[in-house]
Amino acid sequence: MHVALNCWFWDQPYTGSGQYVRHLADALARTQSADVSLTLVMPPHIAQPQGVPAGANVVHTSGPGGNPGKVWFEQRTFPAAAARAKADLAHVPYWGAPLSSPVPLIVSVLDVIPLAIPAYASGFLPRLYTSLQTAAARGAAHIITISHAAKADIEQHLSLPADMITVTHLAADEAFHPRMGKERDEDVRKKYNLPDQFVLYIGGFDVRKQVTQLISAYTYVAPALGEEAPLILAGRQPDWGSPLFPDIPAEIAEAKLGDLITFIGPVDEADKPSLMRLADLFVFPSSYEGFGLPVLEAMASGTPVVANDIPVIAEVSGDAAYLVEAGSSRKMAAAIIALSVDKTLRETQISRALGQSTHFHWRKTAKETVAVYKQVFERANPPSLSAS
């Protein structure tokens, strides 16, 4: 089978879609399966892609840039490139499928945030794009998603049958390990001016991430632990104060927590494993995720996790994270304090986390993805009946 892969997000490894397409392509190439050959279809803005796996063919395309260029690439350029490459299958590894494809189409829908949380699709153009992608997904030969929780949401919001959707879990990169690469940790500590002990959050600051819950939790953590548990917030800072991006710096100032909470900005991907290892505790207060990869990355690093008890995080973490009632700042604070002062609880959670993280691997993701490819290919190319 020859598969054409949409690589719009190839140069954005700091996004979930960018991580997914890169790791998936690498894992598919590493399977060394004679059943699959891979063509990476690059958008016009990626002239010299980095990290292309050995054995994968690369097709460069031309066309407009910006947001209109993205839609043009999805709807016209990518399916045309798949046809020119004589691919047997086309795979779009994010929710950005063409309405029409000359070859059987597989779409990875990582989440349905614009449908589950309408605020993320406010305005005419976002609503139009969401409607376009809803229709395109329904016309695909098969849907891949990354958790059973996401599958349930897709069934509900896209009205698709369960047998049209296959779950292939994500995995932490091998660099997220308690010891592998540990020699870089102190350099990373100096690079971001990190204290000897700290609690860590890495992610976005949009409303579903509920960082405001974590800030509120620190009004209880601060009197109990003080300077023993400073909070580091890592991630690209937005324009604060819109409906999607609450003014978190203002909330920190109002709570008089400025001496205890520090923004360090975006973190280089190569530095994330060290940052996870250096943290005493990782907190993930999100209220909605397709998978919640940072939770798995922290567990694989041997760092205890506190997170909200939502279906997808429970699915990924099992009993290996300290889950609290979503939205409860008091319970989140209690969990942070407990894991900071109770050594036995901390060691138990670390042991469970390391064990749980071994259930997720990109080789498994690739194997399950290839099984979907075979299913769609065989359905599109049934064996011919011999003449009677």
Phi/psi-derived region of residue 322, left when phi > 0, alpha when psi is between -120 and 50, beta in every other case: beta
340 token code pair = 């900071």
Tell me, letter by letter, the H, E, C secondary structure of 41-105.
EECCCCCCCCCCCCCCEEEECCCCCHHHHHHHHHHHHHHHHHHHCCCCEEEECCCCCCCCCCCCE
The domains of the chain are located at 2-171+362-380, 182-357
Q: Are 121 and 111 in contact (CB under 8 A)?
A: no
- Cα maximum dimension of the chain: 84
Full-model pTM: 0.92
**pLDDT value at position 34?**
63
Altogether, the residues listed in the chain come to a count of 388
Q: Among residues 286, 337, 269, 359, which one has the least CA distance to residue 295?
A: 286
**pLDDT value at position 375?**
96
151 token code pair = 């599958």
**pLDDT value at position 32?**
60
Intra-chain end-to-end CA distance of the chain, in Å:
29
* 236/248 Cα distance (integer angstroms): 13
Alpha-carbon distance values, 295 to 4, 11, 249, 298, 304 (Å) = 31, 23, 24, 5, 9
Q: Among residues 142, 117, 148, which one has the least CA distance to residue 130?
A: 117
* Segment holding 284, helix H or strand E: strand 281-284
Please name the fold of domain 2-171+362-380. Rossmann fold (3.40.50)
CATH architecture of the domain with range 182-357:
3-Layer(aba) Sandwich (3.40)
Mean pLDDT by 10 residues, the chain (388 residues): 96 89 93 81 92 92 80 95 97 95 96 92 87 92 97 95 97 92 94 97 96 98 94 96 94 96 95 97 97 96 97 96 97 98 96 96 95 95 64
Q: Among residues 349, 336, 246, which one has the least CA distance to residue 283?
A: 336
Tell me, letter by letter, the H, E, C secondary structure of 144-198.
EECCHHHHHHHHHHHCCCHHHEEECCCCCCCCCCCCCCHHHHHHHHHHCCCCCCC
- Strand pairing partners for 232? 200, 262
387 token code pair = 């003449």
* 49/11 Cα distance (integer angstroms): 7
2-171+362-380 with 182-357: one CATH topology?
A: yes
**pLDDT value at position 387?**
45
* 381/384 Cα distance (integer angstroms): 9
Strand order in the sheet with 261-265: 261-265, 231-234, 199-202, 281-284, 305-308, 322-324
* 348/178 Cα distance (integer angstroms): 15
Tell the residue number behind the tokens 């991006």, with chain if given.
Answer: 245
